[in-house]
Amino acid sequence: MVMDINEIREYLPHRYPFLLVDRVTQLTVGEAIVAYKNVSINEPFFNGHFPHHPIMPGVLVVEALAQVCGILGFKTVNKLPADGYVYYLVGSDNVRFKRPVMPGDQLVLEANVIRGKRGIWKFACRATVDGELACEAEIICAERKVA
């Protein structure tokens, strides 16, 4: 285990029900991160998406990927939300969904730095379930001082 939920909460400003990363299992500063989210039927979005065939909304899979990008960005520049910084999701390119994510799945979230310059980061991201690709995307995040 590289980061448990307590350390993740130091690096992400998100809280329930929007914190979508449960554990970080690998992290190479400035390069890559691997984390996961355990998808439970108790997630609030399953009440409406869809009651008789629950699947995790694709936008939340992308958000989970963006959150791991934020963790990697914060770790790389050695800053924290407590220091008054956030990472905004500012873009996504080439987003493709390959399989639905359902209750009981463990969503593995991977991000690799493509480039970072002046607080703007681009990542190659993948989300998998049992080794099967669920989503891939290029995600762009921007570091901003907010406090």
Q: Which residue segments constitute the domains of the chain, with CATH numbers given?
A: 5-145 (3.10.129.10)
Active-site residue identified among 14, 49, 52, 53: 49
Pairing, β 85-97 against β 132-145: antiparallel
What pLDDT is recorded for position 66? 98
Output DSSP code: residue 3.
B
39-92: per-residue pLDDT in tens?
A: 999 999 999 999 999 999 999 999 999 999 999 999 999 999 999 999 999 999
Cis peptide before 45 (omega within 30 of 0): no
53 as an active site residue: the answer is no
What pLDDT is recorded for position 75? 96
Q: What is the pTM for the complete model shown?
A: 0.97
What pLDDT is recorded for position 2? 95
Length of the chain: 147
What pLDDT is recorded for position 147? 67
Token pair belonging to 45: 């979005």
